[in-house]
Amino acid sequence: MTDVATDVIERVRAARAALSTLAIRGHRSKSRLLGPPGGHADLDLELHSGITNYQPDELVITARAGTPLSDITAALDERRQCLAADPPMFAGRGTLGGAVASGLSGPSRPFRGSLRDSVLGIEVVNGLAERLRFGGEVFKNVAGFDVSRLLTGSEGALGVLLSASLRVAPKPERLEYRKATLDAAAAVTCMRTWASQSLPLSGLAWIAGELHWRLAGASSVVNEIAGKLGGVEDDPGFWTRLRDGELTINTSPTRLWRCAVPPATPPDPADICLDWAGALRWRDQDKSADFLLPGAFTCQRGSSPLRADRVTDLVRRLKDAFDPEHVFNPGLIHADTTS
**pLDDT of the residue at 307:** 44
**Gap between the Cα atoms of 111 and 204, Å rounded:** 10
Q: Could you write out the three-class secondary structure of 270-290?
A: CEEEEEHHHCEEEEEHHHCCC
Q: Which one is predicted more confidently, 291 or 179? A: 179
Q: Which one is predicted more confidently, 27 or 44? A: 44
Band (pLDDT 50/70/90 cuts) for residue 229 is: very high
Size of the chain, expressed as the number of residues it contains: 339
Band (pLDDT 50/70/90 cuts) for residue 315 is: confident
Band (pLDDT 50/70/90 cuts) for residue 36 is: low
Outline which parts of the chain fall under CATH 3.30.465.10. Answer: 4-170+310-322
**pLDDT of the residue at 44:** 87
**pLDDT of the residue at 139:** 57
Domain spanning 4-170+310-322, CATH architecture: 2-Layer Sandwich (3.30)
Compute the average pLDDT of residues 173-177. Answer: 97
Closest-CA residue to 274 (of 185, 191, 206, 197)? 206
Q: What is the pLDDT of residues 122-170, one digit of tens each?
A: 999 999 999 999 988 765 555 557 889 899 988 888 999 999 999 999 9
DSSP-assigned states of every residue in 170-190:
EPPSEEEEEEEE--HHHHHHH
pTM of the prediction? 0.88
Q: What is the pLDDT of residues 196-226, one digit of tens each?
A: 999 999 999 999 999 999 999 999 999 999 9
Rounded mean pLDDT of the chain? Answer: 86
